[in-house]
Each structure stands twice: as structure tokens, then as C-alpha cells.
Amino acid sequence: MSPKVGMEPLRRQQIILAAKDCMLQYGFGHFSIKDVAESATLSTGVIYHYFKNKQDLLVQVLKESFSDTEETVREAVEKHTAFEGKFKSYLEAVADVPKQNPDFYLILLNYIAQSPYNEEVQPLITKFFDHLRTFLEEILEEGVEQDILHPETKPVLSHLVMSQAMGLAFQEQLLPLDNVEYLREEFVRLFQKYIE
Amino acid sequence: MSPKVGMEPLRRQQIILAAKDCMLQYGFGHFSIKDVAESATLSTGVIYHYFKNKQDLLVQVLKESFSDTEETVREAVEKHTAFEGKFKSYLEAVADVPKQNPDFYLILLNYIAQSPYNEEVQPLITKFFDHLRTFLEEILEEGVEQDILHPETKPVLSHLVMSQAMGLAFQEQLLPLDNVEYLREEFVRLFQKYIE
Amino acid sequence: MSPKVGMEPLRRQQIILAAKDCMLQYGFGHFSIKDVAESATLSTGVIYHYFKNKQDLLVQVLKESFSDTEETVREAVEKHTAFEGKFKSYLEAVADVPKQNPDFYLILLNYIAQSPYNEEVQPLITKFFDHLRTFLEEILEEGVEQDILHPETKPVLSHLVMSQAMGLAFQEQLLPLDNVEYLREEFVRLFQKYIE
Amino acid sequence: MSPKVGMEPLRRQQIILAAKDCMLQYGFGHFSIKDVAESATLSTGVIYHYFKNKQDLLVQVLKESFSDTEETVREAVEKHTAFEGKFKSYLEAVADVPKQNPDFYLILLNYIAQSPYNEEVQPLITKFFDHLRTFLEEILEEGVEQDILHPETKPVLSHLVMSQAMGLAFQEQLLPLDNVEYLREEFVRLFQKYIE
DNA sequence: GATGAATGAGCTTTCATTCAT
DNA sequence: TATGAATGAAAGCTCATTCAT
């Protein structure tokens, strides 16, 4: 029927996608390998041909979500050259993640809950946020060089931006917010105050 | 030794505590009723005498965590009478939850991940955050009445405060932050700007 | 239906027996926990109530086989007081194990094959043979004291007796021997030559 | 690289060797066809080109072990012409199998345990021991003809020699014997008594 | 001849829940 | 009230075998 050799990249993607679907549909820890297999219209066996175990598959799902999101933010920033433009577009991009990549925070949420008990996931998450925050610090450094920002503000600001963005996204996941758009704008405004 | 009557409240508390311990030790969904029973030095059977099922027990654990935390914040605010004092102490209390009640956000995290798939937990969480935010809005209303705050700022500010606090707490859970104390102070300062 | 408390000793015995039956019927590694459960007319779950895992159950089966056999030999020897009587009855008892305890060598065979790869079983087997051989050496020591035996003969003789007995039993398991009884008698005679 | 023709004997040998390695490394029943394939740096598929199934492969492994060992013993005996020399060298060769062919008894052990439940293996083992014992009886027959041995001793002696040799080898596999060499010499001496 | 992708039955083990005592 | 024995469904995972290429 179908080819029998060289399926690796296709199948891996197919399975990761199916796992993502299952996670969104049933929630982390509430779907089985059998569910994934059915969702991918494959047998349970193949999954273990491409992934060491369930944990391994789950880690790949997370990795993909992270690299997608990081890329989105970087792309948005790289359209600008001036410090102010970069900073603003970073804020907007970060605030827009839930809109551009709707599943991201739901997936993240599931993994965060596991992270204190999961030696493999914990460093992945830490690295992701560190990357994103370090990227922001690089932008802010330009502001420091141009005397727009006080050097000491840099680390504090980067942390506050990250946590505010995370907090907003999680709230959106949790609560039926009616004024999301407005809150996002306020978020951008709040932090732009720092460079005025 | 022998069966006792009137044990109800004690036993319930004993079991809820044991469940909390298990959750913190093993993570949500990674401990069994047997684990809880052992942790409470009871038999598995007796747990079903006091709780309908595992889900029910879990819900009670969450409820307790919520009411403890809400009380802490209210108590802090009620020490003040002036708007500025109330607002500042609210900010401080909310930022201090991870310090005063170290397990709270770890427990919350576990439930949040489940909430989209759990009809019973979802409204509990929503209600908790609504309470806390509405309480902040009541404080802010005093600021509006005293012309310190623009009426429109009220809802935005309350949401931003909540999400920032949540974001900081989650970041603290996730990442090894070395300057937590300083970030908390910055958080308070950030939002006090709104009423200057 | 049946009692619900204090079943431990009965059930453990019942399950060990069922496991022994399965091993004899299907051979080591060719029966599942489900087979054992069915053979004991129990559910698979109970087995894990009484035994840590399959390996644990298997180890208990072996332990029981060992202690039964050791006891048989000791009892036979203890009927005698004179050295010659003890030695002869030891030889006879050891040669008679396949007859008195027909499953013993079949069970042993199964475990021996596993032993080089099984950290728990290996020392059990070693200990069993050491016990039995040391017991023989204690008997032989009496012969040495009575100047019937040369001291140097003791360890060699004890090893040769053990291996000959083991070899005969395994041959009997493997090959359709028609003159088993006669071989056993020759075995006894062969080693009695040493004390003439 | 590219498919080759006429690979049959080489590949079979390569696979049998890999299977032997796996058996020694993991133990019978604890390695998969994939393990064998990897050990032979081949694909799983090709194994089924040369062997009907796993069982078939296993049988070939055993056959090879048997013919190697039988040959060793025959070669040792054929160096002598006199009865006494033949008998002694037979005893020595048989006692030396564990030294000359270290894996033989470990492999044998694995199959013996399976034999009562395996219609194909059982007769192979029986035949092997019969061959070796019949060969000994042929030697002993010369002793009978030369009036060195009583005719009735022949079958008994051949059985006792075989079982003693087997027993010693298994003991050596199982227990950490410190005086193996000495025991082997005693084994030879023990049975030489019969022809003095 | 050779590959490795794919299957699916079957394995061991866990666990929420029930219930006779 | 309290016990812990018992259930059985369902989980993750393995593996001999097949087969399109």
C-alpha cells in the first residue's frame, strides 16, 4: 500500500501532531498511547518505533511548541532596526502568542505542572524562558547604549515583561476574559512607560 | 484502635492533609489513593467513607488551599484604612503568597492544567481569581471616589495586577530566580505608579 | 462470600502453588501472570497484592522448593547416629530427591538457566547447594575423627557427591532412562567405596 | 552495500554467531530478533530470509554447539590406540569441555530448561548425550573384550561418567569453585578405579 | 538478497473502587 | 467506623513476524 522505507520524518511529524491533538482534547496525562495511535490512524507499535517511550514523545511535542513560538517572536522583532521599534514589537509579539499560536499556553500549562517532578522537562522550560528573556535583554541593551534606559532597569524589566506576558496568557486560558484585546494593549503601554 | 464516633472533621482534615502531601511529593496524577492512605496511616477503605471518590478529595484539597490564601490577603489589607495603604498592602500580600504559602502555586499549577477538562475544578479556580480581583476592584473604587484613579483604569489595573502576580509566582516556581525579593519590590513599585 | 481480612498466608500459598503448577505445565518464562491467576481462580490484581512482581513470586516459589528439599535430606540423616549410617542415608536421600520430590529438579533447571542473568536467584541457588554440601562435610568430619576418612578427602568427596547427584537427576529429566533405580544404587556404592 | 548472491553460508553463520552472543549476553528468552539483527549488523528482515523463525534459528545454534563439542571429544580419543589411553583421554576430554568450550554448558543449560516443552529441542539433546555415551560404551567394549572390565559394568559406568561430568560442569557454572582443576583430576581418578 | 516500517496480540503492572467482615 | 482483600479494566510497552520497496 504505502511505502515501507524512509518514512521516518513524515511519521514522526504525524505522531507528534496526533499527540498534540490528544493533549488538547483530553489534557495531559489523560490520553493513552492508544489514543495517539488512533488519532494518527496507526498502530500502537509504530509509535515505539519512532519514540523511545511516551515521555520521549511528550518531550518532542514540547520542543516543537517551543521552537515554533520562539521563532514567531524573533521574526516579529527582526523586522525592525530601531530600539523603540524592536522593543514594542517584542512586547506585541509576546502578548500575541496566545492569538498566533492558540495551543501554546495550554500545552505549556500541562508541562509546567509536571516539571517539578520531571527531570527532562524542567530544563527545557527553563531554557525556553531564558532564551526569550535573554533576547529581550539584548534588545534592551541597545536602549542602554543609547541612554534611553538605565542599566539597572534591564534585568528587572526583562523579568517583569516575561511574567506579565505569562500571567496574562494563563489568565486568558483560565478565565473568560471579555477584554483581552484591551488588556494586551495596556500590557504594551505599561512597559513602554519605562522607555519614555 | 477501636472505631470512634464523631471523628468526621478530624479524619477529613487528616486525609486532606495527606493528599496535599502526596500531591507535593509526587505531583498531580502521580499518586494513588493507597499513597494517600499510607501517608495518613489509614486504610484505603476509610477514605471512601469520608469522600465520594478521588476527584472529590482532590477538589476539597483545592478548596482549602484557596480559602487559606484568600484569607491571608484579606487580613493583610484589613489592617489599613486609607486607600493608599490598602492598595499597597494588597500588592505586597499578593506578591508574598509564594513566600507565606509556599505550596499554593505548586498546587494551583496542578489543578490549572486539569481545569479545561474538569467541570468541577474550572469554576472553582475562576471564582477564586474573581474574588481576589473583585476585592482589589473594591479597593480601587475607593481610589476612584477620591479622584486618585481614573474610573476606566480600575478593571485594567485589577487584571494586570492579578496576571503579573500570577506570572511572577509561576516564574519563581519554574526558574531559579536569584533576585526574587527585588522583583517583588519592583512589582509593587510598578503598579504604585498608577496612583501617583 | 469469602472472608475479607487475614487472608495473607492462605492466599500466598495458593498463589505460589498455582505458579508452581504453571511452571511445570508451561515451563519457566512461558506462562503469564494471567495464567497463574486463572490457575488459582483469582484475579490478576490480587497477585500484586501479595507479591511485589512476577520476579518476586518466582523467587518465593524457588525458596519453597529449596527448603522442602533440604528438610527431606536432613530428616533422613537424622534417623542415624553412626557415621556410616549417616553417610549412606545422605547418599540415598540425595539420590532419591527426584523420586520424593518429582518437580524439584525440573523447577531448579528452569531457575539455573536464568541464574547467570538474575541477581536474586543466583545467590539463592549457591546458598542451597552450599548448605547441602556443608551438611555433608559435617557428616564426613565424623569419619575423619574416627580415622575412617583422610582429612583431604572431605572437600573433594563432598563436591563429587553433589555433582554426581545433580548430574544423575538432570539426566533423568532429560533422557528416558530405563535403569534409574539401578543407577541410584550404583551411585551409592560408588561413593561408599571411599569409606571402606 | 549492494545485495549479493551466494551469501547463504556466510550469512547463516553470521546470524548464528550473533544469536549465540545474544544468548550468552542476555540469557535465553531475554533477547529479541532485533537484538540478534543489531548484533550481526543486519536488518531484522534478512534473518527471516535464512531462518524459518526464531525457534528455527535457536535450534541451529544448539546443533552447532553440539557438533563442536562432540568433535572435540572424538578428536581427543582418536589420538590413542590402547583401551586405557582411550578411556583416560575420554574422561579428560569430557571433564575439560567447560574449559575448551566455555559457553557450551551455559548454552546447554538454557535449552535443557526449555526441552520438556519443546518438541524440537528435546530429541536433539537426547541424541547428543546418547551419541557421547554410546561412544564411551564403544571404548568400554574394548575393555570388556580384554577382560579388564566386567560386561555388566559397561552401561552403568557410561551413565555415571556422563552424569558426573554434567554435574561438575553445572556446578562450575553455578558456584564459585576454587578447586576446579583438582576436582577434574579427582573425577578422572574416581572412574579410573573401575579399570584397575 | 536486503531493508526497516508496520502490525497487533499479549505481556506486566497499576489503581479506583467495592464490600464482607 | 475501619479494615484490607479483591476486582478487572486499562495503561505502557515488547516483539515475532510480514511485506512493499
| Domain C58-195 part of CATH 1.10.357.10 | yes
d(CA C103, CA C24): 7
Mean pLDDT of chain C, nearest integer: 92
A3 falls in which pLDDT band (50, 70, 90)?
Answer: low
Q: Is D148 on the interface with C (CB under 8 A)?
A: no
B116–A173 C-beta distance less than 8 A: yes
Buried b (16+ CB within 10 A) or exposed e, A134-155: ebbeebbebbbeeebbeeebbb
Q: CATH second-level architecture of B61-195?
A: Orthogonal Bundle (1.10)
A161 falls in which pLDDT band (50, 70, 90)?
Answer: very high
Q: What is the pLDDT of residue D5?
A: 63
Radius of gyration of chain B (CA): 20
| Intervals of CATH 1.10.10.60 along chain C | 1-51
* A28: Cα separation from own chain's centroid: 16
Can you tell me which residue has the cell 497477585? C47
d(CA B124, CA B120): 7
Q: Report the chain C residue with the minimal C-alpha distance to residue D110.
A: C113
Residue with more model confidence, A3 or A78: A78
C170–D166 C-beta distance less than 8 A: yes
Q: Which residue is nearest to nucleotide E5 (CA to C1')?
A: A4
D39-CA/F9-C1' distance, Å: 39
- Which three-class secondary structure state does DSSP give residue D55? helix
D196 falls in which pLDDT band (50, 70, 90)?
Answer: confident
d(CA A36, CA A60): 14
Q: What is the pLDDT of residue C106?
A: 87
The CA-atom distances, in angstroms, between C145 and each of A178, C151, C193, D5, D185 are: 100, 9, 18, 73, 26
Q: How many other C-beta atoms lie within 10 A of the C-beta of residue A158?
A: 19
A4 falls in which pLDDT band (50, 70, 90)?
Answer: low
- Name the amino acid, one letter, at B177: L
User: Residue A133 corresponds to which cell in the numbers above?
Assistant: 528573556
- Name the amino acid, one letter, at D34: K
Q: How many other C-beta atoms lie within 10 A of the C-beta of residue B85?
A: 13
Q: What's the angle, vertex CA B46, arms to CA B44 and CA B52, rounded to 5?
A: 95
Q: Is A153 on the interface with B (CB under 8 A)?
A: no
Q: Which residue is nearest to nucleotide E7 (CA to C1')?
A: A43
Q: Which chains touch B (3 or more CB pairs under 8 A)?
A: A
User: Residue B141 corresponds to which cell in the numbers above?
Assistant: 473604587
- Which three-class secondary structure state does DSSP give residue D63? helix
- Domain range D54-195, its CATH number among 1.10.357.10, 2.40.30.10, 3.40.640.10, 2.60.120.10: 1.10.357.10
Interhelix angle B153-174/B121-145, rounded to 10 degrees, is 130
pLDDT at D1 over 50: no
| Intervals of CATH 1.10.357.10 along chain A | 54-195
CB of B164 closer than 8 Å to CB of B187: yes
pLDDT in tens, D6-30: 778 899 999 999 999 999 999 888 9
User: What is the DSSP annotation of C25-43?
Assistant: HH-TTS--HHHHHHHTTS-
Task: Tell me which residues of chain C have a pLDDT lower than 50.
Answer: 1
Q: How far is C118 from chain D (nearest CA, A)?
A: 9
Q: How many other C-beta atoms lie within 10 A of the C-beta of residue A53?
A: 11
User: What is the DSSP annotation of A85-144?
Assistant: HHHHHHHHHHHHHHHHSTTHHHHHHHHHHHGGG-TTHHHHHHHHHHHHHHHHHHHHHHHH
User: Residue B87 corresponds to which cell in the numbers above?
Assistant: 492598595
Share of chain B above pLDDT 70, in %: 97
Extract the runs of DSSP E, i.e. beta strands, from C93-160: none
Range from A22-31, A169-178, B182-191, D94-103 carrying the lowest mean pLDDT: A169-178
User: Residue C122 corresponds to which cell in the numbers above?
Assistant: 543466583
**Does nucleic acid strand E have an atom less than 7 angstroms from the CB of A116?**
no
The CA-atom distances, in angstroms, between A178 and each of A175, A183, B98, B133, C126 are: 9, 10, 28, 15, 74
Q: Which chains touch D (3 or more CB pairs under 8 A)?
A: C
User: Residue D131 corresponds to which cell in the numbers above?
Assistant: 551419541
Q: What is the pLDDT of residue B161?
A: 96
155-194 on C, CB < 7 Å from strand E:
none
D112–C170 C-beta distance less than 8 A: yes
Q: Report the chain B residue with the minimal C-alpha distance to residue A181.
A: B156
Q: Is C4 on the interface with D (CB under 8 A)?
A: no
d(CA B183, CA B170): 13
**A28 neighbourhood in chain B, CB within 8 Å:** 113
Residues B57, B61, B66, B68: what is their CA dihedral angle, to the nearest 10 degrees? 130
A168-CA/E14-C1' distance, Å: 38
pLDDT at A1 over 50: no
Residue with more model confidence, B111 or A53: A53
Which positions ≥6 away from B119 have C-beta within 8 Å?
Answer: none
Q: What are phi and psi of C102, to 5 degrees?
A: -55, -30
**Does nucleic acid strand E have an atom less than 7 angstroms from the CB of D11?**
yes
Q: What is the pLDDT of residue D169?
A: 93
Q: Is C109 on the interface with D (CB under 8 A)?
A: yes
| Intervals of CATH 1.10.357.10 along chain B | 61-195
**Does nucleic acid strand E have an atom less than 7 angstroms from the CB of A5?**
yes
C182–D116 C-beta distance less than 8 A: no
Using the CA of D57, give the nucleotide whose C1' is nearest. F16
pLDDT in tens, A6-32: 788 899 999 999 999 999 999 888 999
Q: Is C10 on the interface with D (CB under 8 A)?
A: no
Q: What is the pLDDT of residue C1?
A: 46
B109–A112 C-beta distance less than 8 A: yes
CB of B163 closer than 8 Å to CB of A159: no
Q: What is the pLDDT of residue B2?
A: 45
A162–B164 C-beta distance less than 8 A: no
Q: Report the chain A residue with the minimal C-alpha distance to residue B23.
A: A117
Q: Is C29 on the interface with D (CB under 8 A)?
A: yes
CATH number for the domain running over A1-51: 1.10.10.60
Share of chain A above pLDDT 90, in %: 76
Q: What is the pLDDT of residue B5?
A: 63
Q: Which nucleotides of E are covered by protein (CB under 7 A)?
A: 1-21
Q: Which of C174, C185, C187 should one mutate to test binding to chain D, selecting the residue with the greatest count of D CBs within 10 A? A: C174
Interhelix angle B153-174/A121-145, rounded to 10 degrees, is 120
- Name the amino acid, one letter, at D135: F
**A21 neighbourhood in chain B, CB within 8 Å:** none
* C108: Cα separation from own chain's centroid: 7
D2 falls in which pLDDT band (50, 70, 90)?
Answer: very low
**Does nucleic acid strand E have an atom less than 7 angstroms from the CB of C30?**
no
d(CA B182, CA D185): 82
C110–D30 C-beta distance less than 8 A: no
Q: Which nucleotides of F are covered by protein (CB under 7 A)?
A: 1-21
User: Residue D26 corresponds to which cell in the numbers above?
Assistant: 542476555
Which positions ≥6 away from A19 have C-beta within 8 Å?
Answer: A36, A39, A57, A58, A61
Mean pLDDT of chain B, nearest integer: 91
Q: What is the pLDDT of residue C2?
A: 55
CB of C170 closer than 8 Å to CB of D163: yes
CB of B36 closer than 8 Å to CB of B75: no
d(CA D24, CA D42): 19
User: Residue C58 corresponds to which cell in the numbers above?
Assistant: 518466582
A37 falls in which pLDDT band (50, 70, 90)?
Answer: very high
Radius of gyration of chain D (CA): 20
